[in-house]
Amino acid sequence: MSKKPFILLTNDDGIAAAGIEALFHELNKVGEVAVVAPRNEMSAAGHAITLSDPLRVSEYRKGPEFFGHAVNGTPADCVKIAYWAVLKRKPDLVASGINLGSNTGINTIYSGTVSAATEGAILDIPSFAISLGTYEKPDFRFAARFGRKVAAHLLEKGLPRGIYLNVNVPPCPEDQIKGVSITRQGQAVYKEEFDRRKDPHGRTYYWLTGQKVNPEQEIEVDDGALAAKMVSVTPLHFDLTQYAFLEELRSWNLKP
């Protein structure tokens, strides 16, 4: 390739987060990186897009190298507006992350980080999301290097239309990482707790909090791979159709 690959980098922790900066510096080694990311933290934004409010784009700079555009929207908004209005040419790759906290199992569907990669795949650009499985004292160095490795593979091999990758990195020191597992999305669900409180005016409010119940332990599952200190790489797609049930449903008498 004579031209340097062009990489769109976004996230959902916001443009000022340490995770996106770590990935920026590594991706810079394999291509030209354009950062278009949410101005604010958008965790659990899901695949939201902003239709009712105008979007604004501003320049953002941090240190001598890190430059990008901040958007008052969601990760999916960022990919859309980057592609259709901000960038001068079509990216060769969309990278999203590094997210603080894993995006495995059922969390995949709530994840703004993943939704940005989904949006890249919709635009037929090889895309991946990458998350680090901790909220405490994150060390993004290994995850960022692994992200560069994934980026290099995707730039070389591409991905079939509609497929994108969800990468999760265990938070242990690099010399303890046991390898890479190609995984499916875990299906363990949450037992939610709504923490019920009274505000100073006597009104009730709730905080959502919960625990994943019995995540799968097999290393062929994203949760299980992380628990076994392996990097999890899950191929995703955005076709939610459950094909196996089409025939059963056709046997139902749903005539109006």
> Within 7-46, which residues bind a second copy (CB under 8 A)?
41, 43-46
Inter-residue contact 46 to 103 (CB < 8 Å): no
Structure-token pair, residue 256: 């109006």
DSSP label at residue 253? -
- Figure out which of the listed residues 131, 140, 142, 223 binds a second copy, where binding follows CB under 8 A: 142
Residue matched to tokens 């980098």: 9
**Binding to a second copy (CB under 8 A): which residues in 45-84?**
45-52, 54-57, 74, 76-77, 80-81, 83-84
Contact call for residue 179 and a second copy (CB under 8 A): yes
- Figure out which of the listed residues 185, 216, 219, 226 binds a second copy, where binding follows CB under 8 A: 185
Q: Which is nearer to a second copy, 2 or 242 (CB)?
A: 242
Stretch that binds a second copy, among 17-25, 27-35, 87-95, 163-171 (CB under 8 A): 163-171
Contact call for residue 200 and a second copy (CB under 8 A): no
Q: Which is nearer to a second copy, 17 or 63 (CB)?
A: 17
Q: How far is the CB of 35 from a second copy (least distance, A)?
A: 18
DSSP label at residue 4? P
**Alpha carbon separation from 172 to 132, 230, 231 (Å, rounded):** 10, 10, 11
State which H helix or E strand residue 25 sits in: helix 18-27
CA distance 189 to 140: 28
Q: How far is the CB of 222 from a second copy (least distance, A)?
A: 9
CA angle 103, 236, 42 (to 5 degrees): 40
Binding string, residues 225-244; x marks residues near a second copy by CB under 8 A: ------x-xxxxxxxxxxx-
CA distance 155 to 93: 7
CA angle 240, 245, 246 (to 5 degrees): 85
Q: How far is the CB of 170 from a second copy (least distance, A)?
A: 11
Q: How far is the CB of 63 from a second copy (least distance, A)?
A: 26
Q: How far is the CB of 174 from a second copy (least distance, A)?
A: 7
- Figure out which of the listed residues 16, 67, 139, 149 binds a second copy, where binding follows CB under 8 A: 149
Contact call for residue 214 and a second copy (CB under 8 A): no
CA distance 158 to 127: 9
Strand, helix or coil at 245?
helix
How does strand 190-198 pair with strand 204-212?
A: antiparallel
Q: How far is the CB of 124 from a second copy (least distance, A)?
A: 8
Inter-residue contact 9 to 33 (CB < 8 Å): yes
Chain-centroid distance, C-alpha 170: 15
**Binding to a second copy (CB under 8 A): which residues in 105-134?**
106, 108-110, 115, 118, 122-124
Q: Which is nearer to a second copy, 1 or 51 (CB)?
A: 51
Q: How far is the CB of 226 from a second copy (least distance, A)?
A: 14
Structure-token pair, residue 105: 């199992």
